[in-house]
Structure 1
Amino acid sequence: MYNHKLTHHLLPVLGLGLLFTFGCSKENPTPTDPSITAVSSQAIAAGTPGFTLRSKHYIIIAAGDELPAGIEGLTTAANGKVTSVLQEVGLALATSDDPEFAAKAAKITGVRSVVRDFTYQGFNPEARAVEAEALNVNPASTGDSNPYLPLQWGATAIQAPAAWNAGALGENVLVADLDGGFELTHPDLVANIQGSKSFVPTEPAQFMGAANKSSHGTHTAGTIAAADNSIGVIGVAPKAKLLLVKVLADAGSGSFSWMLQGILYAVQERADVINLSLGAAIPRHDQYLDENGKVVNDTKAIQELLVAINKVTSYATKNGVTIIASAGNDANNGNQDKSTVHIPADATGVISISSTGPMGWALDPLKANLDRFASYSNYGTSAIDFAAPGGDFALPGSAIVNFRGVTQYAWALDMVISTGRVSVVNGITRGSYTWMAGTSMAAPHATGIAALIIGRNGGSMDPVRVEAALRASADDLGQPGRDAYYGQGRLNAFRAVSQAQ
C-alpha cells in the first residue's frame, strides 16, 4: 500500500550527490526556521576520485571479436581463473594470485592483452530533511497533478511539459539505469520498474545504505521515469520502463568490470537507452597505485582499458542501444588539460552530457537563467556532446526562502529534486525526495529525452538517428555551433519530439 498524501512529507536534501567531485564544499549553519531539520555543517560532501588498480583482478582482451576457444582452460594453465566470460565483446574477467599472470596470459594465441581491473570511489553525501507541501504553479500540463513538479526547474528548462502535452511520454521504451543501489519500492518508481540486477558481488540491487545516506541511483531513476501518478515528482519520460542495474556499491565505489558487465546485460535485456551517471577520470600517465598503495608502472594500462570499454560500447550501439553518460564534475577544461581520460564518457558511441543550473532561481524565478553553465561541470569542444539540467550549489550565503510551499535554503533549490529513500510507517510505504547536483543529474534528463524520441518513433530506434534528433532539436547556446560548454546545444524535449521521425 502506498501513501498518496505528501503534506508534511520528508524531503532529504543532498548538498552534492555526484560522482567524482572536485573538492568543493559549502559551509552551512543550522537553520533557525523551525520547519527545517538541523543539518550537518558540511552540507556539500566532497568526494575524491580514487583510481586504484586491482592487483589480483584482470581483464582479458581478445585480439579480435571473439575470445580463443577454451579460454577457461588456457587461463588456468597461466595460473588464473576465469570468473566471467563476455563472449559477445571478446572479453573475459579473471583472478590470479600470480604476479606474472598478466604476462603469461597475454601470450595466449588470440589474446590481445591482459590488464588489471580498477576500482574508483564516488560520492559520500550528507543528507538532511525538511517538511514541505508543494504548490503547482507550472504551466498547465499532463504532469500538473504531481505535487513537486513546481520544484522541477529542469523540466521547465527542457520544455518537458510541452512534450508531454504533445503525447510523448516514453511509451514502449526500456531504459537501463546503471548506478548504485535503488529503492525498488519507491511509490514513484515501482510501477515503471521492469527489472533489476546487481553486479556488485556483496550487495543486492536494493539500496541498503544507512538511514542518513541518500540513494544516487534512486535519484537518477526518478529523473528518467518517475511515474505520472500524482504522488511526488514526474520523470522526463513518465511512461518509460526502467531496468535498474547496480554497478556501484551503495557507498559509491565500483569496479570497471562491473560497469562492463552491466552494459552488456542491458543490451541482452533489449534496453533502448542506457544511462551512465558515473565515470572515472583516469590519468594518462604510466604510474598508478595498486590496492596496497604500491606504485605500479604500466604504460599500456589506460590504452587497453579504453580498448575494453570501446568493445562494449561499440557492441551496444551496433545492437541499437543509445548510451548517455555524465561528462564529469572536475571543472576540467578538456581543450587544455588532456592529462586524463574520462570513462565511459569518452568511449566510442557514448553521448557525453555537461551540466547547466541556475544560481538563485528561488530568489527570482522569472529572471533566473536556467541555462547557466554549472560551476563544476567538465567542458571541452570534443568532450561535450550536449548539455542538460544538472543543478548547481554556487549561490553564496545561506538565505532561507519559502518557495512554492517549501521552506529551504535558496542554494538547495538550484539543484535537481528527484526520488529518494523509502520508509515504511505503520505498514505504509512512503517515498522521500532529494535534491542533488552534478552531471550525474544532467545525464538522466538527456536519457529521458532520448526515451521520448524513441517512444515517439514507435520504439527500437538506431542510436545514430537518436543522436541526430537530439542534435537537430537542441537549443544552440553559447558560441554558435558546437562549443566547449554546451556541445551541440542544451537539449529540448518538446522540439525533439516535434521533429522526431
Structure 2
Amino acid sequence: MKLSRRRVLGGIGAGAAAGLVGMPASAAEDGLGTDTERVFIHPKAGVLDDLGELLDVIEAIGGTTVLEFDNFEFVVARVPSTGLDELRRDRRVASVEDDHETGIPSDWSPSLPNLFDPPGGSNCATHPDQRASWGVERIGADAVEPDGTGVDVGILDTGIQSAHCSLSVAGGRNFTADGTAGDYEDRHGHGTHVAGVAGADDNDRGVVGVAPNANLYAVKVLGDDGSGRYSELIAGIDWCMSNDVEIISMSLGGKTESATLGRAIDAAHSDGHLLLCAAGNEGNDGSDSCAAETMTYPATHENVVAVTAMDEGDRLASYSSVGSAVDLLAPGTNVTSSTVDNEYAEASGTSVATPFVTGVAALVWETREEDGPGPTDPVRAILGETAETVLGTCAEGDGLVNARAALGDDRATEGSDWSDGPVSGLRSLFERVVDLVVGFVEWLLGLVS
C-alpha cells in the first residue's frame, strides 16, 4: 500500500485541518463572524490557470477554504450566506453544492450480552472462546479456505478500536472534528462492530469475521455521535484512492443525493475500487413491496453495491430499506460482533449486513489475486450471479451473498498462479506442449520463407 500526504489548507497542521472537516456550524460561523454555508465549489474547466485562483475567489467573498483533495479538483469551503449568489455568478465557478449530512440512525442501540466472567474485557485472556456469528455460518464463510490475505478494506465509519482483542487495525485516518488526523479511535461503537463483521481476527477469542486476515483500515468519516457530512465521506474515499485501499465499505447514508459525492464515487470506481453501502433502515411494507423506494444515499448510486438485510428466519428485516437499486441481501439482525471497550455486542441494521458482503468481496479479491485496485466488474458480477435466492422478490436484489458459491465460481480464480495441487502440473505440461508446437510451427515457417 502506498502512502500519500493529503494537502490541507489554511496554514495549519494536518490534524487541525482534519478537525475543520465536520466543524460544527456554530463554531465556523463564530470564526467568520457571520452566517455561513458549508459548500462544495467546482471550478469551471479551462478557465482557471490553477486551483489557487479558485481559492482566491473564495477568499475574496469572505469565505474560508476547509479542504482540498488529492484526486478531485473541487474544494470544500465555508462562505458567507450573503456571498453565495456572487460565488455562483463568478465566471471561474462551474457549480456550488451544499455539503449535506450523512450518518447512522440516531437510535442505533446494540445490546451488550454478559460474555465475560469475571466482568470486563481489558484482559484478552478473559475473552470468551471464539464463535462465528449466525451470519458467517449462513453465508458459508466458515467453510471456505481464503481469508482475505493481502486485501485492503477501508471501513468508512466512526473509527475502529485499535486495541480490541478480536481486531487488528492496519492504519487509518480521521476526517472529523473529533480528534486529530491520526486519531481514528472509535468512541461510538458502530465502526468497531462493522469492522468485526468484515474482518475480526481468527484468534480463538470472541468473534471471527468473514475475511479475518484482510487489512482493515479505520477511515473515520463519522464523529463520535455517529453523524457526519458528505465532504468527510468524500475525504475518506479520496484517502482510500490515494493509498490503494481496494475495497471501500460504507455502513451509512444520507437523505439527499449529491452530484459531488456521485462524482467521487465514479472516480473511485473508475480507478478500480469496489464500493459497498448500506441500503438504509427506513423500513418497508414487506418483501413484495417492489414499488417502494426507501433507500438512502449513496446506496442508490449505480457504482455502489447496495446491501439490504434479513433475519435468522430468512425473512426481510422489517427495518430494511428497499428499492430498485438493491444489489444483495445479507444477514443483518441480532448479529454479534466486536464493539468499543473491548466488548462484544449484538446489533441489527443494513449497516451490519453490508460488511458481510464486504468480507466476501475481500475473499474473492484475494482468490483472483488482483494486485491493488483493479477491475471491479468481475468481482461484482461474481457476487451477484452466485447469490442465493431467498425471498424471491425485488427486495433481495440478486439474492443472499454466498461465500461458498462465489469462491467456487471459475472466474474467482482468474489470474491465479495455479501453484498448488495436480492442476498445477497439468497446466505446466500443457503450456510446455503449446510452447513446443508454436516453436516447431515458427521453425517451419522460417524454412518456407
Partner of 1:58: 39
Partner of 2:390: 477
8 A Cα contact 1:65 1:90, kept in partner: no
The equivalences for 1:24-423 within 5 A come to 55-63=36-44, 69=50, 70-86=53-69, 88-96=71-79, 98-120=80-102, 122=104, 123-126=106-109, 129-132=112-115, 147-150=129-132, 152-163=133-144, 167-190=145-168, 193-204=169-180, 205-207=183-185, 209=187, 215-282=189-256, 302=257, 305=258, 307-332=259-284, 335-337=290-292, 342-358=296-312, 369=313, 371-380=314-323, 382-391=324-333, 415-422=334-341
2:275 aligned partner, one-letter code: I
1:328 aligned partner, one-letter code: G
Q: Which of the pair is proportionally richer in helix? A: 2
Q: Could you report, residue by residue, the CA deviation over 1:376-396 in whole angstroms, capped at 9, with x for unpaired residues?
A: 10112x2201111111xxxxx
8 A Cα contact 2:113 2:346, kept in partner: no
Q: 1:60 to 1:251 in 2, by over 3 A?
A: same
Compute the displacement of 1:184 (Å): 1.2
Query: How many angstroms apart in 2 are the aligned matches of 1:232 and 1:68?
Result: 56
8 A Cα contact 1:62 1:68, kept in partner: no
2:369 aligned partner, one-letter code: G
SS in 2 for 1:186: coil
Q: 1:91 to 1:419 in 2, by over 3 A?
A: same
Partner of 2:407: 497
Q: Could you report, residue by residue, the CA deviation over 1:270-325 in whole angstroms, capped at 9, with x for unpaired residues?
A: 0110100000123xxxxxxxxxxxxxxxxxxx5xx2x1011100111111100000
Query: How many angstroms apart in 1 are the aligned matches of 2:310 and 2:111?
Result: 24
8 A Cα contact 2:174 2:220, kept in partner: yes
Alignment of 1:486 onto 2:401: no
Query: How many angstroms apart in 1 are the aligned matches of 2:303 and 2:47?
Result: 20
Query: How many angstroms apart in 1 are the aligned matches of 2:171 and 2:296?
Result: 29
Unaligned runs of 5+ in 1: 1-53, 135-144, 283-301, 359-368, 392-414, 423-430
8 A Cα contact 1:102 1:115, kept in partner: no
1:478 aligned partner, one-letter code: L
Compute the displacement of 1:148 (Å): 3.9
Partner of 2:366: 455
SS in 1 for 2:211: coil
8 A Cα contact 2:326 2:395, kept in partner: yes
Q: 1:224 to 1:121 in 2, by over 3 A?
A: closer
Q: Which of the pair is proportionally richer in strand? A: 1
Compute the displacement of 1:125 (Å): 4.3
2:338 aligned partner, one-letter code: T
Compute the displacement of 1:88 (Å): 2.4
Query: How many angstroms apart in 2 are the aligned matches of 1:278 and 1:332?
Result: 18
8 A Cα contact 1:419 1:432, kept in partner: yes
8 A Cα contact 2:43 2:54, kept in partner: no
Larger Rg: 2
SS in 2 for 1:280: coil
What's the TM-score, normalizing by structure 2?
0.74
Query: How many angstroms apart in 2 are the aligned matches of 1:102 and 1:79?
Result: 11
2:171 aligned partner, one-letter code: G
Query: How many angstroms apart in 1 are the aligned matches of 2:161 and 2:47?
Result: 37
Higher relative contact order (CA 8 A, sep 6+): 1
SS in 2 for 1:114: strand
2:368 aligned partner, one-letter code: N
Q: Could you report, residue by residue, the CA deviation over 1:458-494 in whole angstroms, capped at 9, with x for unpaired residues?
A: 1334111110111121112333xxx421101110011
Q: 1:256 to 1:55 in 2, by over 3 A?
A: farther
